Amino acid sequence: MPTISGFDNLILNTDTYKHCHHTLYPQGTEYVSSYVESRGGIFPATMFVGLQAYIQERLLRPITLADIDEAEAVTRAQGMPFCRENWMGILNDHGGFLPVEIEAVPEGTVLPTRNVLVQVINTDPKYHWVTSFFETALLRAVWYPTTIGTVSWMCKQIIKEAFARTSDNPDLLRFQLHDYGARGVSSQESAALGGLAHLVNFNQSDTVPGILAAMKYYNAVCPANSGPNSEHAGFTAWGRDQEVDALRNMMNTYRDAGVVLLLTDSYDHENAVKNILGKELKAEIENFPGVVCARPDSGDPVQVTADTAEWLMDAFGYEVNSKGFKVLPRYLRVVQGDGITLDTLSEIYMELERRGMAAENAIFGMGGGLLQHFNRDTLNFGQKCNAVRVNGEWRDVAKQPTGASFKVSKAGRLALVKRDGEYRTVRRDSVSPEENLLQPVYRNGKLLKKWDFSELIERSEAEVPEEYYYPVIEQMRAQDSAAVPA
């Protein structure tokens, strides 16, 4: 049995069957071009992010002789042929770096689905097969963070709509959705990629791998905020009869932190809010030098969020803002981190609005509903060959399956343009290089462009047509608000 070094061997970061594909191209094939796109799905648009992390982590390290030896042993053990000559050629001709060029949309860009996001081509005719060889890893590196970034971006549009309808404080937008997803995601790498994608849209996270990834791959400076939160172990250890002491202890311990999140559902959530927070600890909460947050962690997320806000208003009072909606005192908020999804998020805001309460009364944490409830088919991501050059002659390439029209692929080398405010994927030879928005980001082992995290944020917050996100706010728009304000 071979000694397995780990998961950093680029030759093994693929599907086994890729090792037999180099012989399947026509004789005389010199160049193979392929592209990545979202072929549609549950959203009309995507926020592109994550490719830069993959390039830095995987493509700037050359393959070695040891990698080739290991890959050969593993691949042949599976009954698959292994062309050692191909990889020895890459090692000797290109220092072990993949001889490909990758061009992509600037990260953070929000654009409609069914547009080219990434395009790849080999740079050495001898290794035309390499374009598709690393499809498995490249596609995974693009679809996951882009899908999660898009989910987060759509959540932001929901929150933005709610604030526009009921709040006077749109400047709070980036602080309203916290990433709680680290424990609910499938791996640390997923937490890192999904976590950094979320941080393009919001400043709040407890997912440490995502924070590290934003700093490591995009030079992010302080990309996330958090604050003292609680878990049931620390509160239930005091016992039911001393729940008030457990809550008071946290307030006293983190008095100087500026914020504390108090779990209120260890036993009886309604009692904790109405009697412990609203009576026994009322004076201490009113005099707390910061914000106290009541955090229910069970029950129906729509009703429990609105109920909690109302109970707190009954005990602590409220103000009425310029739009006629009730707002808790500045030192008090509800934090709902259980059961939050795109659907429940909009439903909660609609319920708050229906009861005459402003959007800012509640802050949210999102876990599996942010980082885990999605797959490649959510936005129908695919990488397909679009052109080849054989014996000096370029050929358009496309698939046209009769059984799935959305899988019909684009033919010819591609470019992305923006005309009259609309993104369009066109043939590369139909536009000038200056008009093409795809930018070379990698070539032959070199990173050609490194986007700063601030640039991603700026692009993600650029104004876009309402049609990009209307499906996620449509129900909110349909809600009758005439009888809502207090």
Q: What is the pLDDT of residue 189?
A: 95
What is the model's pLDDT at position 297?
87
pLDDT of residue 332 exceeding 70? yes
Spell out the residues 6+ positions from residue 405 whose beta carbon is closer than 8 angstroms to its own.
none
Q: Is the pLDDT reported for residue 483 higher than 80?
A: no
For residues 365-376, average pLDDT: 95
Say whether 154-372 and 10-146+378-467 share the same fold.
no
Q: Which residues are annotated as a binding site for diphosphate?
A: 183, 232, 295
Q: Is the pLDDT reported for residue 484 higher than 60?
A: no
pLDDT tens digits, residue range 75-119? 999 999 999 999 999 999 999 999 999 999 999 999 999 999 999
User: Mean pLDDT for the chain?
Assistant: 95
Using 50, 70 and 90 to split pLDDT, how confident is the model at 400?
A: confident
Neighbours of 57 (CB within 10 A): 17
Q: What is the mean pLDDT of residues 406-424?
A: 94
Report percent pLDDT > 70 for the chain. 98
Residue 482 has pLDDT above 50, yes or no: no
Domain ranges in the chain are: 10-146+378-467, 154-372
The confidence score (pLDDT) of residue 399 equals 87
Question: Taking the complete model, does pTM exceed 0.85, yes or no?
Answer: yes
Pairwise CA distance, residues 47 & 55, whole Å: 18
* DSSP secondary structure letters along 252-306: HHTGGGSEEEEE--SS-HHHIIIIIIIIITHHHHHT-SSEEEEE--SS-HHHHHH
Q: Judge whether 143 and 117 are in contact, CB under 8 Å.
A: no
Query: Residues marked as binding?
Result: 183, 206, 232, 295-297, 337-338, 368, 376
Asked if 287 and 252 count as a contact pair (C-beta separation under 8 A), the reply is: no
479 pLDDT band, cuts 50/70/90, is: confident
Query: Which residue ranges are tagged as binding site for beta-nicotinamide D-ribonucleotide?
Result: 206, 295-297, 337-338, 368, 376
Tens of pLDDT, residue by residue over 41-80, are: 999 999 999 999 999 999 999 999 999 999 999 999 999 9
- The CATH number of the structural domain formed by 154-372 is 3.20.20.70
Q: How far apart are the first and last CA of the chain?
A: 73
225: left (phi over 0), alpha (psi -120 to 50) or beta: beta
The pLDDT value recorded for residue 7 is 87
Contact 34, 133 (CB under 8 A): no
Q: How many angstroms from the chain centroid is the CA of residue 363?
A: 19
CATH superfamily of 10-146+378-467: nicotinate phosphoribosyltransferase (3.20.140.10)
Q: How confident is the model at residue 445 (pLDDT cuts 50, 70, 90)?
A: very high
Mean pLDDT of the region 332-341: 95
